[in-house]
A and B are shown apart, each in its own frame.
Chain A
Amino acid sequence: MDISLQNVEYRYQVNTPFERLAIKNVSIDIPAGTFLAIIGHTGSGKSTVLQHLNALLKPTDGQVVIGERLITSQKKQKNLKEIRQRVGIVFQFPEHQLFEETVEKDICFGPMNFGVSEEEAKKRARAAIRQVGLPEEILHKSPFDLSGGQMRRVAIAGVLAMEPDVIVLDEPTAGLDPRGRKEIMDMFYSLHGTRGLSTVLVTHSMEDASRYSDQIVIMHNGEVYRKGTPKEIFSSPEGLLKLGLDVPEVVRFQLKMENSLNIRFSKTCLTMDELTDEIAAAMKRGAPK
């Protein structure tokens, strides 16, 4: 399912003294199957963009196209259930939203809410729990007896069980240790491939954005500051650094090397392997005479 934001503007609390412009002139295309990363500071408008992806917010100007549906400020929206089922959002610290007595009931809650039979929901729960890398036995435990990392996986399974076409992840690895972070991201990346999902990742981690995504959107002060492939975005890191944003470690190191040795590498490196090859080559060439 394609999603497209076209010149979207959003103001909070319109016509009150608290009216505040959160995003303006935001255009982002997310064709089916894309892995998109959205990056920006706290307050840059990332979360506001995110809430437009399944019509939790309706733009105050411009339009959002989600599959066949057109969302504009004028139109009164009815029956958004289908959109909510097809675009699943995993919010920050999703484990805080667990509430049922057993893991199975918790995972079944979403699909049953969308009209799936109990039997079918249980079948989906079994599939989802395996997809997030947990054993089936866990279905009969209380979610509150699990470790933090397991609880997060259960919460994610709850979103997967709705069988969405698009999955939106808001800082999915916050608070996890390095291994947990890598496991969760690798899991999303493999689900992205095997289930043919579109994935939208909202993150502070430039490493994850550079490693997993096809496209990156940088938000700044409520606008799209830049968009492109990781290569395009990170080939001119100075602009990002000026905004106080990070760049991937590999890119940052390349920049430091180039500046202090007064040399230029032949390309923008995005992986450790590319970087070390370039450094080795530069060292072999020696200082410019």
Chain B
Amino acid sequence: MNEPLVELKNVSFKYDAETGFALHNVSFNILKGEWLAIVGHNGSGKSTLAKLLNGLHFPLEGSITVGGIPLTEETVWETRKKIGMVFQNPDNQFVGTTVQDDVAFGLENHGIERNDMVQRVAQSLEKVKMAQFLNQEPHHLSGGQKQRVAIAGVIALRPNIIILDESTSMLDPRGREEVLETVRELKQDYHMTVISITHDLEEAAKADRILVMNRGQLYREGTPEEIFQMDEELVKLGLDIPFPVKLSKILREKGLPLSRHYLSEEELVEELWTSHSKM
């Protein structure tokens, strides 16, 4: 998992000449097969980063390489086959009139042969558990279902990397869980690399690695364990601390002998159970 799949070197970007840098001197690697969460306040540069990775914009300075190929206007179509993106608003990315047309759209654009296409559409919808909705129109679907169709459209193109740009932020809790569960399975089955841009810290806590963006710069990177040690510093950055971490901190302040900050509720309950039964 330590092989860099994407490399960013000193990347800077501005939307127009007069405004400040949306990204300033950002360098990091994305490793093959990891789940990387990118967190940061609104306007911190997270979404700009996603747009650069997908070649919707190009760096003003610095370079991005994807699978060893420098990402430029000449190579963008090649790299876009490797990176699929799921956006925030489920209603803005449904282009087909039915579920299967929507998934076929991307394949048609890439000139995939018909027989292959029919098979890939069926397979991808199977994978996101939407196969029984083939001929449904989008307005009959929930937000979570629409996002899963969007994911099917992405995986039909067999990318190595999937970028979730706040893809669950407009969904209700059930829709959010449906989508994340789907992505977790895909990651496992297809050995995909997942980049998740999110405000949901519970979700980030389950990532392999977290990048914290602040005002266009990479502020910190590390495992969830390391990042959530930052504690109040995260709040100052406009973020929050996940519930189990917050809870273990207060419990320690109230004199309970907990050995560390816990990132999941299960671990914390387990620890409490152990010391409870010893008393």
The count of chain A contact residues (Cβ–Cβ below 8 Å) is 37
Q: For the complex, what is the distance from the CA of A28 to the CA of B99, rounded to whole Å? A: 38
A148 adjacent to B43 (CB under 8 Å): yes
**Segment of A70-78, A133-141, A209-217, A244-252 engaged in the interface with chain B:** A244-252
A175, A260, A283, A286: the one contacting B166 at CB < 8 Å is A175
Taking CB atoms and an 8 Å cut-off, the chain A residues in 151-205 that contact chain B are 174-180, 204
A-B residue pair count with CB separations less than 8 angstroms: 98
Residues of A within 8 A of B144 (CB): 42
- CB of B237 to closest CB in A, whole Å: 8
Is A276 in contact with chain B by the CB < 8 A criterion? yes
- The CA of A102 and the CA of B32, in the complex, are separated in Å by 48
B172, B199, B240, B279: which contacts A42 (Cβ < 8 A)?
A: B172
Residues of chain B with a CB closer than 8 A to A13's CB: none
Determine the chain B residues whose CB is within 8 A of the CB of A112 once the complex forms. Answer: none
A239 within 8 A of B: no
Question: A256's contact among B166, B250, B265, by CB below 8 Å, is which?
Answer: B265
Using known A-B contacts A147-B43, A174-B169, A280-B254, determine if residue A179 contacts B276 with beta carbons closer than 8 Å.
Answer: no
Separation of A174 and B246 alpha carbons in the complex (Å) = 23
**CB pair B276 A261 closer than 8 Å:** yes
Which of A41, A176, A276, A284 is B251 in contact with, Cβ under 8 Å? Answer: A276
Which of the segments B58-66, B79-87, B267-275 contacts the partner chain? B267-275
Given contacts A43-B142, A256-B269, A287 and B279 within 8 Å (CB-CB): yes
- A244 / chain B contacts, CB cutoff of 8 Å: 173-174
What's the least CB distance linking B175 to chain A, in Å?
7
**Interface check A101, CB cutoff 8 A:** no
For residue A90, give the distance in angstroms from its CB to the closest CB of chain B.
16
Bound CA span A50–B170, Å: 18
* Contact call B238/A180, Cβ cutoff below 8 A: yes
Interface positions of B from 244 to 279, Cβ below 8 Å from A: 246-247, 250-251, 254-256, 265-266, 269-270, 272-273, 275-277, 279
Indicate if the CB atoms of A279 and B272 lie closer than 8 Å.
yes
In Å, the complex CA distance between A190 and B250 comes to 27
Q: Chain A contacts of B136 at CB under 8 A?
A: none
Is the CB–CB distance between B247 and A276 below 8 Å?
Answer: yes
Distance in Å: Cβ of B208 to nearest Cβ of chain A: 22
B131-171 with Cβ < 8 A to chain A: 142-144, 166, 169-171
Tell me, yes or no, whether A149 is within 8 Å of chain B by CB.
Answer: yes
Given A41-B174, A261-B276, A280-B254, residue A178 in contact with residue B239 (CB < 8 A)? yes
- Proximity bits, A260-289, B CB within 8 Å = 1, else 0: 110000000000110111011011111100
CB neighbours (8 Å) of A256 from chain B are 265-266, 269
Query: Contact mask A22-58 → B, CB, 8 Å, 1/0?
Result: 0000000000000000000111000000000000000
Complex contact B238–A257 (CB within 8 A): no
In the complex where A272-B247, A280-B254, A283-B279 touch, is A178 in contact with B173 (Cβ < 8 A)? no
Closest Cβ–Cβ distance, residue A282 to chain B (whole Å):
7
Task: A253 to B255: give the CA distance in the assembly, Å.
Answer: 19
| Contact residues in B for A43 (Cβ distance below 8 Å) | 142
Question: Are the C-beta atoms of A177 and B172 separated by less than 8 Å?
Answer: no
Q: In the bound complex, what is the Cα–Cα distance between A196 and B240 (angstroms)?
A: 30
- Pairwise interchain contact A260-B42, C-beta atoms closer than 8 A: no
A175/B170 in contact, CB under 8 A: yes
Judged by a CB distance under 8 angstroms, whether B130 is at the interface is: no
A65 to B: closest C-beta gap in Å: 30
Contact A249 B243 (CB under 8 A): yes
Say whether B275 contacts A283, CB under 8 Å: yes
What's the nearest-Cβ distance from chain B to residue A48, in Å?
Answer: 15
Residue of A nearest to B275 (CB): A283
List 22 A-B residue pairs with CB atoms under 8 Å apart, sorted by A's residue number: A148-B43, A176-B199, A177-B40, A177-B41, A177-B199, A177-B238, A179-B235, A180-B42, A204-B173, A244-B173, A246-B173, A252-B265, A256-B266, A261-B269, A272-B250, A273-B250, A276-B247, A277-B254, A283-B256, A283-B272, A287-B277, A287-B279
Other than the known A174-B170, A179-B238, A260-B270, what 7 A-B pairs have Cβ atoms closer than 8 Å?
Answer: A175-B88, A176-B199, A178-B239, A204-B173, A245-B173, A261-B272, A273-B250
